[in-house]
Amino acid sequence: MQHIITMENIKKQIYTLPEIRRVTLPLWPAWAVTAVGIACGLIALLNDNIPAAYSSDLICFALIGCFSLILTLSYYLVGDSRRPYHKQLHKVLEPELTYYATNEQQHLIDALEAHDEEALSSIKKNSQPQLVLMRYSDKEETIFYSQLLRATSTRQMEPLTDIIINNIKK
């Protein structure tokens, strides 16, 4: 653990665990809205027998379809469309960041290694990211994938622990 890593690398490390896989949100709803929008636009442009009021409504649907496609592609290209998924629990894991002061480092490491969630919750939190506890968990908080990081002067994160898995309901 000598090298310095970014937060995205932690997510990549979680994906290497055998019980975790990537889940990508499906594209078919956006493609369906886009296809309907294109069909409405073509009907409005090619059919002269449609009243003007209906033609403008069809053009509106076509614009909604185009905007739907643009937003979906933007989300997939720029946004975070992939989430870690726990195969056995059938749950998507959500990230959580908690900040602590540097003087709490040993208490945090001890609580993480002992899998003591109660001790971990009693440690005083900080508003500055001197120490960062990065956790992925399901909504019911039955399992945690945690890693303690230290902020460096270059605004990157240096890992203080490996990924620690805490399964609450073993």
Burial of 63-77, coded b for 16+ CB within 10 Å and e otherwise, reads eebeebbeebeeeee
* Residues 4, 155 contacting (CB under 8 angstroms): no
62: amino acid identity, one letter? A
* Residues 86, 19 contacting (CB under 8 angstroms): yes
| Sequence spans of domains, the chain | 7-23+85-167, 28-80
pTM, two decimals, is: 0.62
Tens digit of each residue's pLDDT, the chain (170 residues): 444 555 666 777 788 888 888 777 677 877 888 888 888 777 877 777 777 777 777 778 778 878 887 887 777 777 665 778 888 888 888 888 889 988 889 999 999 999 888 888 899 998 887 888 888 888 887 888 888 888 887 777 788 888 888 877 65
Which alpha helices (DSSP H) does 47-169 contain, by range?
52-77, 105-113, 117-122
